[in-house]
Structure 1
Amino acid sequence: MFDIGDYVVFGTDGVCTVEAVGSLDMEGVSKEKLYYTLAPVGKSGSNRIFAPVDGKRVVMRRVITADEAKALIGKITEIEPLDVPDERKREEAYKAALMSCDVVQMVRLIKEIYRRRRVRFAAGKKLPAIDERYCNLAENSLYSELSLPLNVEKSRVEEYIADAVGM
């Protein structure tokens, strides 16, 4: 169970702060069931997410620690790009990697799209919109999560990684 103030990754909504844990005062919702009230980090407005404490449909986990973030960055050059053998299932593979909420899968997805971008640009072709969309989603998710334990602004995480791996 998570506590108030914890940072969590909640599905594709990304990093959120746990604001409350308790029953919801809403019509049609059982008072017996407990929910987390989550506030997405870095998104202005009053958007709140209500997630069942016992929910299993959406991945919800703690944000990685500073040591885990540094270890991930330290092995980033060794992580293989996402393998997508069937071009017709490319979006499905991208979506599965994104929905896993796993930082290694995010790195694999980003590396695959970067690889694909280089190949297509060398052939004088643009990257398809689907690749751009999933790359943006994966980068946003990964950089948002890494920014917290590394105490780096999200907009500077890519630069932080490049410096760390000597690129």
Structure 2
Amino acid sequence: TLDIAGVDKKREYYILKPLYLSSSTVYIPVDTAEGSMRKVLAHEEAESLIRQIPEIPLITIANDKLLEQEYKNCLKACNCQELIRIIKTIYLRKRAREEAGRKETAVDARYFRIAEDQLYGELAVALDMSRENVESYINTSLQSV
């Protein structure tokens, strides 16, 4: 239970400390945790996910307002495939914009960073490596596929 003003003193919470944001604390009500928490990927699940990256579809919404909502929906799904959809989509959008002489949008930059942080953090734990090595590990793995 939490001893915080305005919080139900009888409600139980999981208290989580994010591995890569040690100064943060997340409080998840036990009675609603099933919809917002899941186990971290196992090593083989992480390897399988990386092999699937080329087949994971892009987000195909042209309207920027609707696209941002889809980014939010993908994040809420708490699913690594959805994080990959965000990363792949924004990466290709950024390249297309650069080729057209335009800068990346602030929305794309923000969601790309969030999706990368979440995905790479989870893969680092699953693969027992540092967060900083995940991107190069993925790139190397995909080159051998």
TM norm structure 2: 0.89
Gaps in structure 2 of 5+ consecutive residues: none
Q: Letter of the aligned partner of 2:18 in structure 1?
A: P
**1:135 aligned onto 2:109:** no
Match of 1:63, SS state, is coil
Match of 1:68, SS state, is helix
Q: Structure 2: how far apart are the matches of 1:63 and 1:56?
A: 14
**1:34 aligned onto 2:18:** no
Who is 1:93 aligned against? 70
Who is 2:41 aligned against? 64
Q: Letter of the aligned partner of 1:123 in structure 2?
A: A
> Cα RMSD (Å) of the superposition?
1.9
Q: Larger % of strand: which?
A: 1
Q: 2:128 aligns with which of 121, 143, 151?
A: 151
**1:121 aligned onto 2:98:** yes
Shift of 1:44: 3.1
Match of 2:14, SS state, is strand
Q: Say whether the 8 Å CA contact 1:82–1:105 is kept in structure 2.
A: no
**Matched residue count:** 143
Q: Letter of the aligned partner of 2:29 in structure 1?
A: P
Q: 1:26 to 1:68 in 2, by over 3 A?
A: same
Q: Say whether the 8 Å CA contact 1:146–1:157 is kept in structure 2.
A: yes
TM norm structure 1: 0.78
